Amino acid sequence: MKEIKDLNLPDEIRYSKDHEWAKVDGDIVRVGISDYAQDALGDIVFVELPEVGAVFKAGEEFGTLESVKAVSELYLPVGGEIVAVNMELEDSPELINDNPYTGWIIEVKPGDIGEFDQLLDRHAYLELLKAE
């Protein structure tokens, strides 16, 4: 497993306590899992994606990742409507391991963009990781 100092944690995105990341792009929020999460899971072999049009509240489970080590639930960092899913992950779930920030999972039209501001910035996320 990577050392905390070796993790790729971009400054321009926010993180949840459940290790998902979120990035605003216009009126859409793109969501994936952090480098820490993909490293802890190991080789990802399957991604269960939600349906486009489904609506979830912040913190609700929206899918799962299956790796060689475990099955892990995915929790939505901001509530809203799923407007896109990364269909490439159905045939190539390892894209998340290759680069978790280009290997995004879903895009959400948030119901309340203020929820994004409540997520952790890079510094706060690093502090969370150090405490685990």
Give pLDDT tens digits for 6-20: 999 999 999 999 999
What residue ranges define each of the domains in the chain, with the CATH number in brackets?
4-131 (2.40.50.100)
pLDDT > 90? residue 1 = no
**Mean residue pLDDT across the chain:** 96
State how far Cα 12 lies from the chain centre: 14
- Nearest Cα residue to 103 out of 12, 32, 28, 2: 32
The predicted pLDDT at position 33 comes to 98
pLDDT 10s digits, 84-112: 999 999 999 999 999 999 999 999 999 99
Question: What secondary structure does DSSP assign to 13-51, as a single string?
Answer: SEE-TTSEEEEEETTEEEEEE-HHHHHHH-SEEEEEPPP
Residue 25: pLDDT band (50, 70, 90) is very high
Section 64-81 average pLDDT: 96
* Model pTM score: 0.96
